[in-house]
């Protein structure tokens, strides 16, 4: 399992989620830290194109996205964004 590094922005966002979403987010992050290609993430994770290498978005329901960066020894949780904000940041890059 890769080390999980959570940015300040992601930590704040994670703590602002309701209990159900927070538990689901933590579970998905842990699965991705073991293997970002795990079948449990099938149809939930996709690579972001045109941005830093190895950056992915994980769907957390219909309205939230977890932005991660996968490195050899670690998984960085960069942020958890509302889908509308996610589209604004990444629409032209994906």
- Output the domain CATH number for residue 51: 3.30.2310.20
Amino acid 66: pLDDT: 96
Task: List b or e across 5-41, with b for residues whose CB sees 16 or more CB atoms inside 10 angstroms.
Answer: ebeeebeebbeebeeebbebbeebbebbbeebeeeeb
In the predicted model, is pLDDT for residue 52 greater than 50? yes
| pLDDT tens-digit series, residues 22-51 | 999 999 999 999 998 889 999 999 888 776
In the predicted model, is pLDDT for residue 61 greater than 60? yes
Q: Is 63 left (phi over 0), alpha (psi -120 to 50) or beta?
A: alpha
Residue with token string 């960085």 = 76
Please say whether the beta carbons of 36 and 28 come within 8 A: no
The pTM (predicted TM-score) of the whole model is: 0.88
Amino acid 57: pLDDT: 92
Domain that holds residue 68: 3-90
Q: Quick one: tokens of 5?
A: 């590094």
Q: Count structural domains, the chain.
A: 1
């Amino acid at each position: 399992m890769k080390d999980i590094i959570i940015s300040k922005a992601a930590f704040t966002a994670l703590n602002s989620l309701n209990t159900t979403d927070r538990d689901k987010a933590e579970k998905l992050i842990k699965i991705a830290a073991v293997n970002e290609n795990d079948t449990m993430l099938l149809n939930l994770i996709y690579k972001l194109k045109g941005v830093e290498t190895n950056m992915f978005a994980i769907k957390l329901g219909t309205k939230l996205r977890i932005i991660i960066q996968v490195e050899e020894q670690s998984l960085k949780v960069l942020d958890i964004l509302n889908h509308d904000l996610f589209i604004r940041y990444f629409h032209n890059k994906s």
